[in-house]
């Protein structure tokens, strides 16, 4: 179906959503979704033995097998031409080797204490350092204006630039790409200058698959012209993270501190870039190895001869993180996102109970690598099981079990932006309040929204427990998760039958 026709189809479908949600609904299937069963799944997925289900780990594959076994038990079909339920994702793993060195003429800094190497590129440099603030380039603002950084090392600090010219996402990967395209040969990234706007750092191990989604985003926003030359330069671009104290030491000759420079840039809304008037020596070793991970995909085929060729995607990410770098404790990932996966499994099982099967097909996907820049969802976009133009909508469940147990945040985008008002009736039916949000960022649905596929996002709002050892199953509300899963089931069912 062409884009215009699909928009018209979705629009007419939404009008019909004003009708009662009970007219075609199998009540027994709805009531089969139980909070106690959702918790049962979470207890396994977020157990101590699962060690956070981090992507590319043995525990992540155990979780994937658990989900695939559930799909088979519930009678979901394997994707067309697939031997099993796994969509395999090949990748390279970039790993920082040892030793790595970082020094000036006055100081030899200690790896692990004063600096940490990032898994970007290998290289040995002795080059002048250029301070370039936020390291961003947008219409009306350019951190690189007035300075020549070719064959030099750039120093940038974290955070979102608050001035004019629109937002340049402060993802380190995009800052590296921008530096490369301005001719820089290496980067010193200062940590701690913007803790509230801090994004995930580039680690000591990075999958090349995790770079794809930021690059797609950069191209979509027209902020970087990423090409094969950029990729080649990336593999020879050494990068280190340093503290503000080390950065201030490097800035000594300028008689300024990182904090003062950031305050001045933010206050004036103008770029401030200059040479530090001395060289830094960098020697970083990054190795490559092969690896793979999987999305888990199961299908319920539609019954209508025409509409069955269209799919509704129901997604949740299976992965989390592993061990806290600060405390050494397990990061269980109960709410984030064992809760979404457990709800997805309950919804899939409920559809297997339905007496009347949906007209459209439904594709249930447990995504991998959401915590690593949307590896799984971006790979699906590039390798769809069903053509993207046949995807009617994508519904995403990511963190649904904490905070106020009587409400759930729902955000929507695309041709069904504003869809949440249509959810108020079924929300009342299942006993939960829908709170609308304009924030559609931050999870697997983003990859679909970039393709102009309508999305609906269910989210509890998160909090300080995110990515911490406090995210355990005992903190979750079975009541809330049951009602969110039932609400999502009703929404899917209605879209699938129109």
- What does the pLDDT look like over 201-215, one tens digit per residue? 888 888 888 888 888
Q: What is the pTM of this model?
A: 0.83
Return the percentage of the chain with pLDDT > 90, whole number.
Answer: 68
- Give me the mean pLDDT over the 16-34 stretch: 66
The domain limits of the chain are: 3-91+293-497, 98-284
pLDDT at residue 11, rounded to an integer: 41
pLDDT at 167 over 90: no
Mean pLDDT, the chain, rounded, equals 89
Distance CA 207, CA 30 (A): 40
pLDDT at residue 18, rounded to an integer: 37
pLDDT at residue 189, rounded to an integer: 96
Confidence of residue 9 (pLDDT cuts 50, 70, 90): very low
pLDDT at residue 6, rounded to an integer: 45
Distance CA 2, CA 22 (A): 31
Q: Tens of pLDDT along 320-366?
A: 999 887 788 999 999 999 999 999 999 999 998 888 889 999 999 99
Q: Which of 30-39, 132-141, 280-289, 377-386 has the lowest mean pLDDT?
A: 132-141
Return the percentage of the chain with pLDDT > 70, whole number.
Answer: 91
Is 3-91+293-497 a domain of CATH 3.40.630.10?
yes
Please state, in angstroms and as integers, the Cα–Cα distance from residue 63 to each residue in 55, 245, 402, following that order. Answer: 10, 42, 22
DSSP-based three-state secondary structure for 493: helix
Q: Tens of pLDDT along 71-125?
A: 999 999 999 999 999 999 999 999 999 999 999 999 999 999 999 999 999 999 9
3-91+293-497 and 98-284: identical CATH topology: no
pLDDT at residue 416, rounded to an integer: 59
Distance CA 178, CA 415 (A): 33
In this structure, are strands 286-300 and 108-109 parallel, antiparallel, or unpaired?
unpaired
Name 101's Cβ contacts closer than 8 Å, sequence gap at least 6: 108, 111, 281, 282, 283
pLDDT at residue 24, rounded to an integer: 47
Q: Tens of pLDDT along 421-476?
A: 578 889 999 999 999 888 887 899 999 998 999 999 999 999 989 899 999 999 99
Distance CA 379, CA 377 (A): 5
Confidence of residue 17 (pLDDT cuts 50, 70, 90): very low
pLDDT at residue 441, rounded to an integer: 77
Q: Tens of pLDDT along 235-273?
A: 999 999 999 999 999 998 888 999 999 999 989 888 899
pLDDT at 8 over 70: no
pLDDT at residue 19, rounded to an integer: 40
Helix (H) or strand (E) holding 394: strand 391-397
pLDDT at 7 over 90: no
Q: Does residue 58 have a cis peptide bond before it, meaning omega lies within 30 degrees of 0?
A: no
Do residues 131 and 261 lie in contact, with contact meaning Cβ atoms separated by under 8 Å?
yes
The tokens for 41 are 């799944």
Angle, in degrees to the nearest 10, between helices 58-73 and 339-353: 20
pLDDT at residue 356, rounded to an integer: 81
Helix (H) or strand (E) holding 348: helix 339-353
Kindly report the CATH number that applies to the domain delimited by 98-284: 3.50.30.30
Confidence of residue 26 (pLDDT cuts 50, 70, 90): confident
pLDDT at residue 442, rounded to an integer: 82
């Amino acid at each position: 179906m062409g884009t215009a026709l699909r928009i018209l189809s979705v629009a007419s479908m939404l009008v019909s959503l004003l009708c009662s949600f009970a007219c075609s609904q199998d009540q027994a299937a709805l009531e089969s979704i139980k909070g106690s069963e959702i918790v049962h799944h979470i207890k396994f997925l977020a157990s101590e033995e699962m060690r956070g289900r981090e992507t590319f780990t043995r525990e992540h594959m155990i979780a994937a097998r658990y989900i695939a076994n559930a799909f088979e038990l519930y009678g979901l079909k394997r994707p067309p031409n697939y031997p099993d339920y796994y969509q395999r994702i090949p990748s390279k793993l970039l790993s920082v080797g040892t030793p790595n060195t970082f020094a000036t003429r006055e100081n030899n800094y200690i790896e692990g204490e004063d600096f940490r190497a990032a898994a970007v590129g290998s290289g040995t440099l002795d080059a002048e350092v250029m301070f370039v603030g936020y390291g961003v380039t947008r219409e009306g603002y350019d951190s690189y204006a007035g300075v020549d950084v070719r064959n030099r090392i750039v120093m940038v600090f974290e955070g979102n630039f608050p001035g004019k010219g629109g937002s340049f996402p402060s993802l380190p990967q995009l800052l590296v790409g921008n530096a490369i395209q301005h001719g820089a040969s290496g980067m010193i990234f200062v940590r701690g200058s913007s803790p509230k706007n801090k994004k995930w750092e580039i680690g000591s191990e990075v999958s090349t698959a995790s770079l794809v989604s930021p690059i797609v985003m950069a191209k979509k926003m027209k902020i970087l012209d990423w090409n094969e030359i950029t990729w080649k330069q990336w593999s020879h671009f050494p990068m280190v993270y340093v503290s503000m104290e080390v950065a201030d030491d490097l800035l000594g000759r300028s008689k300024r501190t990182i904090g003062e420079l950031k305050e001045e840039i933010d206050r004036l809304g103008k770029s401030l870039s200059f040479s530090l008037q001395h060289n830094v020596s960098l020697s970083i070793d990054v190795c490559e190895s092969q690896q793979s991970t999987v999305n888990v995909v199961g299908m319920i085929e539609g019954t209508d001869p025409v509409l069955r060729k269209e799919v509704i995607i129901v997604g949740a990410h299976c992965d989390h993180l592993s061990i806290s770098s600060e405390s050494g404790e397990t990061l269980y990932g109960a709410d984030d996102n064992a809760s979404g996966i457990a709800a997805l499994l309950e919804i899939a099982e409920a559809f297997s109970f339905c007496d009347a099967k949906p007209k459209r097909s439904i594709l249930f996907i447990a995504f991998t690598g959401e915590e690593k820049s949307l590896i799984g969802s971006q790979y699906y976009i590039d390798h769809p099981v069903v053509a993207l133009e046949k995807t009617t909508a994508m519904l995403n469940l990511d963190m649904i079990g904490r905070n106020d147990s009587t409400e759930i945040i729902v955000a929507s985008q695309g041709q069904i932006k504003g869809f949440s008002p249509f959810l108020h009736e079924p929300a009342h039916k299942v006993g939960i309040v829908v709170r609308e949000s304009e924030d559609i960022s931050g999870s697997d649905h983003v990859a679909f929204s970039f393709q102009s596929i309508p999305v609906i996002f269910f989210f509890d709002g998160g909090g300080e427990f995110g990515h911490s050892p406090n995210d355990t199953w005992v903190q979750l509300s079975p009541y809330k998760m049951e009602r969110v899963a039932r609400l999502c089931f009703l929404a899917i069912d209605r879209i699938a039958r129109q």
